[in-house]
Amino acid sequence: MIRIDIKKELQGSKAEMNLEISLEIKEGSFVALSGESGSGKTTLLRILAGLEISEGSIEVHEEIWQDSSFVKETQKRQIGFVFQEYALFENMSVLQNLLFVSKDKKLASHLLEITDLTQLKDRVPNTLSGGQKQRVSLCRAMMNRPKLLLMDEPLSALDMDMRNRLQKEILLLHKEFGTTTIFVSHDPSEMYKLADRVIVLSQGKVIKDGSVKEILRQTQGSQKFSFRGELLEIIQADVVFIAVVSIGQQIVEVVLDEKEMKKFRVGDEVQVSTKAFAPTLSLV
Amino acid sequence: MIETLLSLDYEPFILSFKLASLTTMILFVISLPLSWYLSQTSSRIKPFIEALTALPIVLPPSVLGFYILVALSQNSPIGAFFENVFGVELVFSFTGLVVASCFYSLPFMVQPLQSGFESLNKNMLEASYISGKSRVETIFRVALPNIKPALLTALIVTFAHTVGEFGVVLMVGGSIDGETKVASVAIYEMVETMDYSMAHVYSLIMIVMSFTVLLSVYSFNKHHNKKFGL
């Protein structure tokens, strides 16, 4: 069990805010941390890693990492950290990056095999693609046999295909090592695939905390389906209006009458849903 | 030409290089923790320390030389301490020159190292701490290998600058043959005694050597940057 109860004053994006987080996380769970930028997600991760100071206490698997009189050094926490921008050791080859953490050659070659990097083991980071770099970074984090794996938007700099692939590898490693993991993400499908719990932060506080299904499924009551998107444009067509909404990578058009139209403005976050008709799903 | 070169008294050059090598080594040891501290701290006294380290760049060598002379003389506590404990006289001696050069060339070692350290990806250093490595191990195994051009610049420029120093050396060391008469002082004396032909030879040697050294630094840095796609 991981018990977190911390407080820190932050210079937020809008004004000063207090990061106040109190959480319990079960051993072996995979937690997704979400929320708008500047809500304190990265800071929470950095506090857990011992890279930033805060007030309060952190206890990980019966071990005190921080309390009122003691702060365990980053070096002794035995964690894995995957940065958004990889942060590989540029002067070392892929294999050396892994062995820098621990001399366990067997583990290193096993990790490289799982992530399909064996052929690249003698390359230096600058010659690798973004996806390859992030796989190295993931392997490096696992070399510590971490008690806690922290990932700060590990996939947000990668394209869709590479994301899917890394998601699978992250899941594979999680199943094999059972490492308690906290990862920051903005991508609902990513959270759905990987996490068993989602925590949403806003202005330094937890505003939602629950299972993936509770948090991510947006339909309420009798709604059959519903999607969130951004209103891009309202076009007048004779007596009706057409709202152009972007949902994920797709553009959708919804018909509005004049009265409805007045409620919306371009740029609003909107929800597209239907109640009366059961939606049908067909292969594309 | 070759005869002139063979019959030349190389002692001032040897002395210059001995002084520069020692100064560079001592300054590297001192500057490594100092520049690391400056690159990592956000303390309020940082600008104060930075200004202090940069002073030798802007001060006239005579001012620096004068104070070093005062500080190292037997009448000062420092000078007296060295005289009594180690039996070393600091003014008008080679040891005194090394001490003076360390003050004079300090910014040339600290500044490139500091900006090198500052250019490093902070996450990369943190990744090393997370991997369980101490600060010292991180400096030697991650930080320094990733700032090779800055490291080389610091070492070479410190060395070259010490070879090229004149004012401070003259004030603190004077011109004692084989002890404090370095190349730059020797050239000054030749000009004073109107021995222009020897002054030409010495000066040309200095120019050729300095140019070669700087050329190799710039070539290395260019090659290095290309290799790492910078």
State pLDDT tens for residues A77-86. Answer: 999 999 999 9
For residue B24, the distance in angstroms to the closest alpha carbon of chain A comes to 25
Residues A211 and A230 in one domain: no
Residues A160 and A134 in one domain: yes
**Amino acid A179: pLDDT:** 94
Contact across the interface for B129 and A87, Cβ inside 8 Å:
no
Whether residue A84 is contained in a domain is answered as yes
Contact across the interface for A83 and B132, Cβ inside 8 Å:
no
Provide, as residue numbers in chain B, all residues whose Cβ is less than 8 Å from the Cβ of A83: 123, 126-127
Contact across the interface for B130 and A126, Cβ inside 8 Å:
no
Provide, as residue numbers in chain B, all residues whose Cβ is less than 8 Å from the Cβ of A144: 130-132
Whether residue B139 is contained in a domain is answered as yes
Alpha carbon distance A57, A21 (integer Å) = 10
Final residue before a domain boundary, out of A168, A190, A216: A216
Among residues of chain A, what percentage have pLDDT more than 90? 58
Residues A173 and A192 in one domain: yes
Whether residue B57 is contained in a domain is answered as yes
Interface of B with A in 135-194 (CB under 8 A): 141-142, 145-146
Partners of A227 in the β-ladder: A272
Q: Is the pLDDT of residue A248 over 80?
A: no
Whether residue B184 is contained in a domain is answered as no
Whether residue A127 is contained in a domain is answered as yes
Contact across the interface for A75 and B134, Cβ inside 8 Å:
yes
Give the closest residue to A187 by CA, choosing from A238, A246, A125, A249. Answer: A249
CATH classification at residue B96: 1.10.3720.10
Tokens linked to A44: 């929470």
Beta strands (DSSP E) in chain B are none
Residues A175 and A246 in one domain: no
Whether residue A16 is contained in a domain is answered as yes
Could you list the residue range(s) of the whole structural domain that residue A127 is in? Answer: 2-216
Whether residue A284 is contained in a domain is answered as no
- Spell out the residues 6+ positions from residue B67 whose beta carbon is closer than 8 angstroms to its own: none
Whether residue A279 is contained in a domain is answered as no
Mean pLDDT, residues A155-174 taken together: 90
**Amino acid A227: pLDDT:** 80
The model carries a pTM of 0.82
Residues A59 and A13 in one domain: yes
DSSP-derived pairing of the beta strands A180-184 and A30-34: parallel
Tokens linked to A221: 């009551």
Pick among A77, A82, A100, A140 to test the B interface (most B CBs inside 10 A): A100
Instruction: Give the nearest chain A residue to B132 (CA atoms).
Output: A75
Whether residue A91 is contained in a domain is answered as yes
Whether residue B209 is contained in a domain is answered as no
Q: How many domains does chain A have?
A: 2
Residues A252 and A123 in one domain: no
For residue A79, the distance in angstroms to the closest alpha carbon of chain B comes to 7
Model confidence band, residue A73 (pLDDT cutoffs 50, 70, 90) = very high
Could you list the residue range(s) of the whole structural domain that residue B121 is in? Answer: 14-173
Residues A124 and A261 in one domain: no
- Residue A215 CA to its chain's centroid (Å): 14
Mean residue pLDDT across chain B:
90
3-class DSSP state for residue B87? coil
3-class DSSP state for residue A115? coil
Q: How many domains does chain B have?
A: 1
Pick among B130, B133, B135 to test the A interface (most A CBs inside 10 A): B130
Final residue before a domain boundary, out of A185, A216, A247: A216
Final residue before a domain boundary, out of A216, A234, A263: A216
8 A C-beta contact, residue A144 and residue B130? yes
Instruction: Give the nearest chain B residue to A46 (CA atoms).
Output: B126
Alpha carbon distance A199, B139 (integer Å) = 37
CATH classification at residue A251: 2.40.50.100
Mean pLDDT, residues B22-41 taken together: 96
Residues A67 and A161 in one domain: yes
Whether residue B221 is contained in a domain is answered as no
Long-range contacts from A257-264, C-beta under 8 angstroms, 24+ separation: A261/A234, A264/A231, A264/A234
Whether residue B206 is contained in a domain is answered as no
Residues A44 and A164 in one domain: yes
**Amino acid A224: pLDDT:** 63
Whether residue A283 is contained in a domain is answered as no
- The terminus-to-terminus CA distance of chain A in angstroms comes to 44
Whether residue B95 is contained in a domain is answered as yes
Contact across the interface for A87 and B121, Cβ inside 8 Å:
yes
Residues A233 and A139 in one domain: no
Instruction: Give the nearest chain B residue to A85 (CA atoms).
Output: B123
CATH classification at residue A89: 3.40.50.300
Contact across the interface for B126 and A144, Cβ inside 8 Å:
no
- CB nearest A87 (choices: B124, B132, B229): B124
Residues A211 and A236 in one domain: no
Instruction: Give the nearest chain B residue to A90 (CA atoms).
Output: B146
Residues A196 and A123 in one domain: yes
How many Cβ pairs within 8 Å bridge chains A and B? 58
Please report the ipTM that was assigned to this predicted complex: 0.81
> What pLDDT digit, counting tens, does each position of B109-143 carry?
999 999 999 999 999 999 999 999 999 999 999 99
